[in-house]
Amino acid sequence: MSEPVKTAVRAEIEPTPLEMSAIVREHYEVVYRFCARRVGQDWAADVAQETFLTAQKALKRFRFESSLRSWLIGIALNECRSLIRKRKLFPPTIEFDLPDASASGRENAWIDRTALTKALNALSDEHRDVVVMHEIEGLSYDEIAAVIGIPSGTVKSRLHHAFINLRKSLRDEVRG
């Protein structure tokens, strides 16, 4: 977080447009991609914008109990959920840059683009969320816990179970 932003936040004043622009530059990419993976590209820009507008109003209440990034992602998650409920949206498929099953002979041939997408989609929403946040979006356990509002131990447990399920799905797929 840049110094002017820190100052504004600590002074509990509404950030100036300039300070807010600094926050957007720093975090827009993460927030946008987070939204795009939940509501799709068509809605991502709108939701990201709403996230930052909400953040602008609420920033003076930010208490440094979590990182600014996870706070923003928490707002984005709420915005996404709201839109999903309103528009009855489904999470879009996540694409992986992996070879297809036809490209055999590789050491890790049991993980294939289609199979991984399928296995990820087969996970429960709770498991899928933590996997996407940790493995793809790079959030730490504590950040995930702050965003979702669950204990860190639960994140650990969910992630572990999600991986066991993924492994099983993929192995089963290979066996046919």
Partner 1 sequence: MTERELNLKAFLDGELSEAEQLEVTEALAADESAERELQDFRELQAAFRTAVEPPVLGMERTMLALVEKKRTPWWNGVGLNVLKVALALGVAGLLLVPNQNGSLLSQLQTAAVPDTKSAEFTKSATLEKSETTAAATASTEVSSNAKALAESMLQRNSVESKTANKIPEIQGPPVDVNRLKMYAAEEALARTRGATGAAGDMAAMPAGPLPSPMGGRLRPFAPGDPSELDASRTLDQLVLAVKSIAKQYRATLVTESAISAGKGKSFVYSVLGANAIPFIRQLRLSIGQFGSVSEPRPAGAQSANPRNLARPTTADDIPLEDLEKELQALNERRVVLLTEFYEDAKPVKELDTQIDAIKKRIADAKKPKEREVAPNEKVVVQVSVMGT
| Residues forming the site for partner 1 (CB under 8 A) | 17, 20-21, 24-25, 28-29, 32-33, 36-37, 41, 44-46, 48-49, 52-53, 56, 94-98, 108, 110-111, 116, 131, 134-136, 140-141, 156-157, 159-161, 163-164, 166-167, 170
Angle at the Cα of 87 from the Cα atoms of 92 and 55, rounded to 5 degrees: 85
Q: Which is nearer to partner 1, 78 or 99 (CB)?
A: 99
* Residue 6 or 106 having the CB closest to partner 1: 106
Give CA–CA dist 113/44, Å, rounded.
Answer: 24
CA 133 from chain center: how many Å?
4
Shortest approach of partner 1 to residue 48 CB, angstroms? Answer: 6
Instruction: For Cα atoms 84, 42, 80, give the angle at the middle one, nearest 5 degrees.
Output: 30
Name the minimum Å distance from CB 42 to partner 1.
10
**Structure tokens belonging to residue 118:** 């399928």
Identity of the residue, 78 or 117, whose beta carbon is nearer to partner 1 in the bound complex: 117
Provide, rounded to whole angstroms, the least separation between the CB of residue 24 and partner 1.
5
Q: How many Å apart are CA 34 and CA 51, to the nearest integer?
A: 11
**Pick from 97, 91, 49, 77: nearest CA to 139:** 77
**Contact yes or no for 129/147 (Cβ under 8 A):** no
User: In angstroms, what is the minimal distance from the CB of 11 to partner 1?
Assistant: 19
Smallest separation (angstroms) from partner 1 to the CB of 133: 11
